[in-house]
Chain A
Amino acid sequence: EAGVAQSPRYKIIEKRQSVAFWCNPISGHATLYWYQQILGQGPKLLIQFQNNGVVDDSQLPKDRFSAERLKGVDSTLKIQPAKLEDSAVYLCASSTQGAAETQYFGPGTRLLVL
């Protein structure tokens, strides 16, 4: 079974530019999560989708971050405009439907904002 796929793996941009990350969850997983992991910290949930609906986006900086999961499968996370403090690893995870299920993570996208 294929795992969670993410691209790109690395991205370097200048501040005020925009960037987008893509995630394809494990086949059949209804729930998809985007996490931000700043160096030296644990991951922090940005947004959670159940199929193509948003369940929790309380920690998403909505003035600059947006995310969508149009067909209930893959998802895109966008930052526009980027700030220096957005430098982090962006992790995508997925799980089967149900609150008790384990989340499985992708390899992450390492973003550096200069």
Chain B
Amino acid sequence: AQKITQTQPGMFVQEKEAVTLDCTYDTSDQSYGLFWYKQPSSGEMIFLIYQGSYDEQNATEGRYSLNFQKARKSANLVISASQLGDSAMYFCAMREGYNTDKLIFGTGTRLQVFP
């Protein structure tokens, strides 16, 4: 079974609007971490935001926020006030347990921001 599922292969959003990228995960661990990375066409993976399974508040980093719904096992990324430079692939990833570094990535969502 897939551990990380990103069901949206592509999303379009107009500049200055907000957009939500979906991510669901599957784990039996109580302790885990969820990450979002951005991958522009240049190829590097840029870390955006992190949510720990025990964090009670949703993580926020500037225009990025993570809508963490533990019971539904979802960790959606919300980008507010989209910019043209936000056009890229976005990957959700999970680290299971506390004593491991291994990240498991989803298949990604391509976001296109148009003027």
Q: A: which residues have CB within 8 A of B?
A: 3, 31, 33, 40-45, 48, 55-56, 89, 91, 93, 95, 99-108, 110
Contact = CB atoms under 8 A, between A and B. Distances in A.
Contact of B45 (A45, A100, A105): A105
Contact of A110 (B43, B93, B105, B106): B43
A100 B33 contact: yes
B91 A42 contact: yes
B98 A99 contact: yes
Contacts, number: 60
Contact of B44 (A33, A48, A102, A108): A108
A100 B107 contact: no
B100 A99 contact: yes
B28 interface: no
A102 to B, nearest CB: 5
Interface residues of B, number: 25
Which residue, of B37, B44, B107, has the highest number of chain A Cβ atoms within 10 A? B44
Contacts of B102: 45, 48, 56
B89 to A, nearest CB: 9
Interface in B68-115: 91, 93, 95, 98-103, 105-108
A103 B50 CA distance: 11
A93 B45 contact: yes
B25 interface: no
B47 A103 contact: yes
A60 B36 CA distance: 24
Nearest to B93: A42
